[in-house]
Structure 1
Amino acid sequence: MAKPKQFTRPPKKTKAKSSGPRTADDYQEAADLEEETGGKWRAGDPAKSGRAFVRALEIYDQGLQKHPASFDLAYNKARLELEITQRPALVSHIGLPLVDLLRQTLESHRYALRLNEANPDALFNTSQVLTSLAEQLSEAGDTETAIPLLQEALELLSACCSRQEMLLEQQQADFAEAEEGGVALEDMEEQPASTPGSEDSGQMATIENPVTAADLLDTVHASLSALTTLVALVEHHALDSLGDMAHSLTETKAPMYIKMLSEDARESASFTVAFDRANFVAAFADAQFTAYLIESADYQTRLEDVFSIPNKDQHVAALTSEAEARTEFTLSVLTRYIGSPEFPVETCWKQLKLAQDLYTKAAKLESSARIYLSRGDVEMLRHRIAIMSNVKTSDSISRSAPTLVQNAQTYYKGAVKLTSDEDGELGEKAGRRLAVSGRLRVLLYGVELDFAGARDDMLNLALEECVEEGLMDGDLADAIMARGR
């Protein structure tokens, strides 16, 4: 998800100390102090940071009770909530589950939009909350609720883009007028005008940030991200319209915005757009394949074409995204051919080998728990293919089975060791899969456990996850569970 926009406020005014905040600006300054405290402790003490951010939110609430029309307070409360939702280590200290916190954050953003529905930063950030909430709900299986949230996010991003284009055009016109000897609009006013919904009573006025081509590209990026999530959820008859939207963004709008950048910024921006396009095309091809609109050969060709991005080997995100796309290809093909002797073993084996090679390159650039967990999953999926009894596999593939599950165990151990406070849930997942890979080696290859093992309830959860994600079949999971009792 794209990062939330930062809201720019005028420099703080020096004021005499009083018994407590009274004006909207007073409440903003008090909240600023708590936010600064929270920022200082964010890395070293998430609990202390979380308490400071909660105090800041309480101050925003108090300020809005007295000044309900203050867009500054409403916007900054919503912005802070959004920033908290993007940091798992902080969420655990706020006192709400992530989904509930996202719903609360969405209501805060909608309140801010009611005060100023044309503010591009508010439009952008609201779309990000909608996208994050939709992702959480879709992962929980609630696609019926997630789809309209993503559609609303795309509508807001379209409005945001239109507003940004209008503001940029106005800025360019003002600049041209100044160059020709006229007086630019900003020079005519000693004080910035209040935005709609702001209280005009001597308080500091809201200032909209000048719009740049980079802002427009951020909106393109966010739109493509939402589209990539949405194509996996909608019915097949809705795919063409989403594909047209993505095509317009990548082939028309993005190139136009890139031309507005300085020459030294264009290469990086072009890479980002190519990367976003690759992620969308991969998701789009998977959705079409799942709907029986294309065959696996077409799917594979699209992956080969769209991930041919220059210099991708220097970017962790590009390497891991391509690896994920190739893994998803194998899982989708496996689902279509489940139980059939026609399953294309060699094709899927090659895709998983490429995925593992990509993760290996990524790990050399960034050694993270997420990458090692993914490497373990790829080996588990390769192991599933290697022990298939209903399809013809080569001797080399069959013989690799014991090594593959041993490799998976090694990668899961690495993921556990690399887990930080920011990805605690990921570390727990790696720990569960470490237990599964160990039990798998015991059951199939007679290897003794070199660790304490796992409780039955944890092992059962881990096996359910592995079956649900396609890493092993249900019969093998049942056999492992039976052996563990």
Structure 2
Amino acid sequence: MAKPKQFTKPPKKQKSKAAAPETADEFQEAADFEEETGGKWRAGDPAKSGRAFVRALEIYERGLQRHPSSFDLAYNKARLELEITQQPPIVSHIQLPLIELLKQTLDSHRYALRLNEENPDVLFNTSQVLTSLAEQLSEADDSGSAIPLLQEALELLSACLSRQEMLLEQHQADLEDAEEGGVALDPEDRPASTSGSEASGQTVTIENPITANDLLDTVHASLSALTTLVSLVEAGALQTLGDMAHSLTENKAPAYIGLLPVDAQESARFTFALARASFVSAFADAQYNAFMIEAETYLARLEAFSIPSKGQDATALGSEAEARTEFALSVLARFEGSPDLPVDLCWKQLSLAQDLYTKATKIGRSAQVYLSRGDVEMLRHRLASSPYVKLSDGMRKSAPTLAQNAYTYYKGAVRLGTDEDAELKLKAQQRMSIVARMRMLLYETEPSADAADSIQSSAAYLRAGLVQSVEEGLLETALADAIANSLTAK
């Protein structure tokens, strides 16, 4: 998710720490102090950082009770909540589930929007909260609630982009006036939005000048929301979303990139091309699952990942690998249990995905990449052990090795995982246990010393992992049932 937008805060005023804040500025200064404390402890002590951020939020809340029309306080409270949601170690110390924290954050952003509905930063940030909440609800199988949130995010991003374009045009006009002999207004001299009339006077918000990078950020956020949305909506809505993406990718983004300094354009084109490829692959997957296109067309669309210099970027390599894995999963789902499954086509795409992940690990190893490599080997094992299709001898004989590889990669994900990867590490550990039992069941492989703890995992823990593995297409239902039955067998 894009980084929350921020505006320039007024210079801090020296004041007595003992004095209770009264004005909106004083509440902001007190909250700033706690935010700075939280920032200092963010990496070293998430618990202490979380407590400081909570104190800052309490100060913002008290300030808004005294000064309910202060846009600065409303905006900064909402911004801090959004930043907290993006820090898993800190979220774990807030004592509020992430979905509930996102809902609270959304309420705060909507409050700020009511105070200033044209501020591009709060428009952008509100869209980011909506997108994050939608992603969490989608992962919780609540796509019905996620869809309207993503649609609202796109509406806000459209309004944000229009506002940014107007402000950028105004800024460029000021520069042209200056070149013709006039004097360009300094940002601090411009009329600024106010946070409301207070007893002590008016407090102003100073907005940073809009740049082409800001417009590109909004395009990227829009493409990200569209990429998530196309996998959730009905087939009839796909064309409208595709048209929206086409306008962004073919008209808006190239024009904005052209406004950047020449030395920044190549990097921007690469980043944009990757975002475009991710949308194209998600859109093709949605169309294929809706029986609107066939596998050949879907596969041709993945050529969007033919991006210059892709081989030097781990994110780009991983994104293409994920897209090719998704292609294989969708084809497997369409031909579930059928002898007509194009096994060679799926095998080739999964092999390409594994090659891409291997290249990515040479650039930088991560727990997510190793988890994905394990999943790819599980999918190749599913193909190699399929009873429904005709396989080459070499492919079928590779099944035990693929199972061993999957275990090794899941083990690597556990080893590389950090505190921020707690959920990922749990999934990898769970799948290690499943693969260890699968190897014992299918190949009578004695567990190695390092697999002993995995074998001893609880039955309930493993059954939950088996259900998820079937849902994600990694295991056939029959094999998952056999593993589940083996859990109680002595």
Instruction: Provide TM-score, normalisation by structure 2.
Output: 0.96
| Correspondence list, 1:355-434, <5 A | 355-434=353-432
**Structure 1 contact 167–211 (Cα < 8 Å) conserved:** yes
Task: Specify every segment of 5 or more residues in structure 1 that has no aligned partner in the other structure, as ranges.
Answer: none
Identity %: 68
- Give the secondary structure class of the aligned counterpart of 1:69: coil
| Correspondence list, 1:452-467, <5 A | 452=453, 453=455, 454-467=457-470
| Correspondence list, 1:114-129, <5 A | 114-129=114-129
The aligned counterpart of 1:337 is: 335
The aligned counterpart of 2:277 is: 278
The aligned counterpart of 1:33 is: 33
C-alpha displacement at 1:65, in angstroms?
0.5
CA distance in 2, matches of 1:15, 1:483: 69
**Structure 1 contact 72–198 (Cα < 8 Å) conserved:** no
CA distance in 1, matches of 2:260, 2:186: 23
**Structure 2 contact 227–278 (Cα < 8 Å) conserved:** yes
The aligned counterpart of 1:112 is: 112
**Structure 1 contact 5–121 (Cα < 8 Å) conserved:** yes
Task: Specify every segment of 5 or more residues in structure 2 that has no aligned partner in the other structure, as ranges.
Answer: none
| Correspondence list, 1:289-368, <5 A | 289-303=288-302, 305-368=303-366
**Structure 2 contact 72–195 (Cα < 8 Å) conserved:** no
Which amino acid counterpart does residue 223 of structure 1 have in structure 2?
Answer: S
Q: Deviations over 1:123-171 (max 9, x none)?
A: 0000000000001111111111111100000000000000000000111
CA distance in 1, matches of 2:160, 2:445: 58
C-alpha displacement at 1:14, in angstroms?
2.6
C-alpha displacement at 1:484, in angstroms?
1.6
The aligned counterpart of 2:445 is: 447
- Give the secondary structure class of the aligned counterpart of 2:197: coil
Which amino acid counterpart does residue 366 of structure 1 have in structure 2?
Answer: G
C-alpha displacement at 1:16, in angstroms?
4.8
**Structure 2 contact 374–407 (Cα < 8 Å) conserved:** yes
C-alpha displacement at 1:285, in angstroms?
0.3
The aligned counterpart of 1:163 is: 163
The aligned counterpart of 1:236 is: 235
Q: Deviations over 1:202-221 (max 9, x none)?
A: 45420111000000000000
Q: Deviations over 1:14-60 (max 9, x none)?
A: 33555211111111111111111111111111111111111110010
- Give the secondary structure class of the aligned counterpart of 1:93: coil
| Correspondence list, 1:35-54, <5 A | 35-54=35-54
**Structure 2 contact 2–217 (Cα < 8 Å) conserved:** yes
- Give the secondary structure class of the aligned counterpart of 1:198: strand
Q: Is the deviation greater in 17-26 or in 144-153?
A: 17-26
- Give the secondary structure class of the aligned counterpart of 2:410: helix
CA distance in 2, matches of 1:482, 1:172: 70
CA distance in 2, matches of 1:334, 1:5: 42
CA distance in 2, matches of 1:42, 1:364: 29
**Structure 2 contact 194–203 (Cα < 8 Å) conserved:** no
**Structure 1 contact 24–203 (Cα < 8 Å) conserved:** no
CA distance in 2, matches of 1:82, 1:166: 26
CA distance in 2, matches of 1:270, 1:403: 41
**Structure 1 contact 127–154 (Cα < 8 Å) conserved:** yes
**Superposition CA RMSD, Å:** 1.3
The aligned counterpart of 2:77 is: 77
CA distance in 1, matches of 2:16, 2:49: 28
Q: Deviations over 1:357-400 (max 9, x none)?
A: 11111111121111100100000010000000110111111010
